[in-house]
Amino acid sequence: IHIFQACDNIKTTKNKLKIQHGSPVHCIIYLDNKVFVSLLNGDLIVYKRDQEGLWDTECPYTRTIGSPTSPITKMLAVAGKLWCGCQNQIYVVNPLAFNIETSFQVTPDTNRAVQCLVCSGQGVWVASQQSSKVMLFHAVTYEFLLEVSIAQAVSQKLQSADDIIRQHKAACLRITALLVCKDLLWVGTSAGVILTIPIPRITSTSTRGCLATPAVTGLPYGHTGHVRFLTSVEISGTAGTKVDAPRETAGERAGGYSVHDIHRRSSMAATTATMASRMLVISGGDGYEDFRSNAANEGAGRDDSTNHLLLWQV
pLDDT tens profile 149-179: 999 999 999 987 888 888 888 889 999 999 9
Is residue 121 left, alpha or beta, with left meaning phi > 0 and alpha meaning psi from -120 to 50?
Answer: left
Question: How many whole angstroms separate alpha carbon 211 and alpha carbon 201?
Answer: 8
Q: Are 63 and 44 in contact (CB under 8 A)?
A: yes
Q: Which of 53-62, 190-199, 211-220, 262-271 has the lowest mean pLDDT?
A: 262-271
Mean pLDDT of the chain: 85
Question: How many whole angstroms separate alpha carbon 231 and alpha carbon 218?
Answer: 17
Q: Are 126 and 178 in contact (CB under 8 A)?
A: no
- Does residue 30 register a pLDDT over 90? yes
Mean pLDDT over 123-146 rounds to 96
Q: Which of 1-10, 68-77, 184-193 has the lowest mean pLDDT?
A: 1-10
Helix spans in the chain (H):
151-157, 163-171, 250-253
pLDDT of residue 236: 78
- Does residue 201 register a pLDDT over 60? yes
- Does residue 25 register a pLDDT over 90? yes
Q: Name residue 197's amino acid.
A: I
pLDDT of residue 276: 58
- Does residue 311 register a pLDDT over 50? yes
- Does residue 70 register a pLDDT over 80? yes
As a whole-number percent, the residues of the chain with pLDDT over 70 amount to 82
- Does residue 102 register a pLDDT over 70? yes
Condensed to tens digits (0 to 9), the pLDDT of residues 231-283 reads 999 987 644 444 443 333 333 333 444 433 434 444 444 444 445 588 999 99
pLDDT of residue 267: 42
- Based on DSSP, count helices (H) and strands (E) in the chain, helices before strands: 3, 23
